[in-house]
């Protein structure tokens, strides 16, 4: 039972696609580790085909998990735009949404900067 090289290549590419983009001249340690795992698989004399298949399946599952996490983060940002705002900014924008303007406070941080 030999592993199809196309499956290994597509899994390798899927893993690299999900990692943060970096130039080839300055890869992250994670990029290096993934590349080394595919360049130098564990001792071929000691590891059998089942072990290789298991490791390939784990890599595929990790690639799917990373893609799902990226999609989840994107959807949270899209449908909850105020989730990353501080409390004051969220209240101000909520009031503006219904047509109200909040009064300016005397000791407001924004006024102190001006």
**CA–CA distance, 68 with 22 (Å, rounded to integer):** 21
**DSSP code, position 83:** G
Q: At 4, is the pLDDT very low, low, confident or very high (cuts 50, 70, 90)?
A: low
String of DSSP letters for 10-31: HHHHHHHHHSPP--TTS--HHH
Q: What is the pLDDT of residues 38-77, one digit of tens each?
A: 887 655 555 588 888 888 888 899 899 999 999 998 999 8
Q: Tell me, yes or no, if the pTM score tops 0.85.
A: no
Q: What is the pLDDT of residues 72-107, one digit of tens each?
A: 989 998 888 777 788 888 888 888 889 988 888 787
Is residue 48 within 8 A of residue 1, CB to CB? The reply is: no
Query: Residue 39, SS3?
Result: helix
pLDDT attached to residue 71: 93
Closest CA to 56 of 99, 4, 95: 4
């Amino acid at each position: 039972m030999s592993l199809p090289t196309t499956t290994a290549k597509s899994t390798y590419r899927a893993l690299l696609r999900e990692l943060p983009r970096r130039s080839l001249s300055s890869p992250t340690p994670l990029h290096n580790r993934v590349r080394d795992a595919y360049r130098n698989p564990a001792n071929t004399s000691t590891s059998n085909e089942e072990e290789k298949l298991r490791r390939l399946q784990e890599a595929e599952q990790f690639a799917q998990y990373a893609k799902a996490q990226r999609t989840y983060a994107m959807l949270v940002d899209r449908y909850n735009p105020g989730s990353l705002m501080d409390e004051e900014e969220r209240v101000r924008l909520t009031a503006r949404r219904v047509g109200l303007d909040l009064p300016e406070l005397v000791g407001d941080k924004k006024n102190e900067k001006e």
